[in-house]
Amino acid sequence: MGSIPKKKVAVVAVGGNSLIKDGKHKSIPDQYDAAVESMKHIAGMIEAGWEVVITHGNGPQVGFILRRAELALSELHMVALDYCGADTQGAIGYMFQRALYNEFRARGLQKLAATVVTQTLVDRNDQAFKNPSKPIGSFMDEATAKQRKAQDGWAVVEDAGRGWRRVVPSPLPQRIIEQPAIDSLIKAGYVVISVGGGGIPVIEDEHGDLVGVEAVIDKDFGASILSSGIGADLFLITTAVERVALHYNKPQQVWLDRMTADEARRYLAEGHFAKGSMEPKIRAILQYMERGGKEALITDPANIERALQGKTGTRIVP
Ligand code: ADP
Ligand code: MG
């Protein structure tokens, strides 16, 4: 008897639209409804035979925690960014676990999802620590910004006439601390939710102990090292667009079905992918390819199953 073919493993990095559809639907019940919708398509993918590891962004959710803490500052303590990361990984993981449980049950699938609170190691000498660039939290007036700078050591910047904002470093992820636990859970057949928000940023101190830092990790890069680390057969990124375009939002726009890593590098250099949105996704995919990745796909949650059948989405190959 031949051996049972090993199931293929995919990392699915779900974008912000899997939780917040638009500005009017930000409440927790709204986020759960959006999660249910995305998880249906991930369950469809699992039913089609994939083992799936899910990762997700957490930018807006971290913003909500910071705002709540700010409003309650007269009574309660502030929440450090590493704890915001842990809180959102737990809450978002719970939403996905419950949505998947119900969807698996409806489909008669014997599957269970489990969330791993994940720490991501960053280099304490990463240049990003000298150049905090990622704006987070509420806008402030100049006086408040200068006060937080003096009192709390915040780095603050003036944001194009819209007010002042705190900026934090966004160092590159180096290693996922809980990687072996994630591997074991995949092997045992669990649908693993991990590296949420790129993972909780931690550094190693001079003794080798882990210390949480006031930084944020780009979720696309976190998903990339997760994909390489577990040796995923596919790195799938879902976002608000069905496919990637050249000349995005311009009259001469063309949707791409497929590009090679070399083509992606060229389009990147030509400036087709907007900074802070599509650019990090393409860079994250290129990094995954450079580390031996075989296939990547970008589409929206509703088109996951069709994209896997080759009917839509943008496929990136080495
Ligand atoms: P996510 O939460 O999924 O990371 P982002 O807003 O960061 O979402 O990135 C996805 C967005 O990138 C798309 O919704 C689209 O508006 C934008 N985008 C920028 N350049 C392109 C491009 N060349 N092709 C398609 N979408 C693009
Ligand atoms: Mg993004």
CATH code of the domain covering residue 116: 3.40.1160.10
Range of the domain at 280: 9-121+181-317
Any domain includes 225: yes
- The Å distance, Cα 57 to ligand 2 centre, comes to 7
Angle between helix 28-47 and 81-107 (nearest 10): 50
Is residue 17 annotated as a catalytic residue, yes or no? yes
Report which secondary-structure segment, H or E, holds 273.
none
Count of the separate structural domains present in the chain: 1
pLDDT at 3: 63
Range 287-305 average pLDDT: 98
Given the CA of residue 272, which atom of ligand 1 is nearest to it?
Answer: 23
Is residue 219 annotated as a catalytic residue, yes or no? yes
The model's confidence at residue 5, banded by pLDDT at 50, 70 and 90, is: low
Range 37-43 average pLDDT: 98
CA angle 247, 251, 252 (to 5 degrees): 50
Does this model's pTM top 0.75? My answer is yes
As a whole-number percent, the residues of the chain with pLDDT over 90 amount to 96
Active-site residue (options: 21, 134, 146, 294): 134
pLDDT at 4: 64
Beta partners for 298?
A: 237, 314
Active-site residue (options: 281, 293, 303, 313): 281
Any domain includes 223: yes
Any domain includes 216: yes
- Average per-residue pLDDT in the chain? 96
The answer to whether the CB of 273 is under 6 A from ligand 1 is yes
Any domain includes 162: no
Any domain includes 307: yes
**Four-residue CA torsion sign, 219, 57, 159, 153:** negative
**For 113-172, what is each residue's pLDDT tens digit?**
999 999 999 999 999 999 999 999 889 999 999 999 999 899 999 987 889 999 999 999
The model's confidence at residue 6, banded by pLDDT at 50, 70 and 90, is: confident
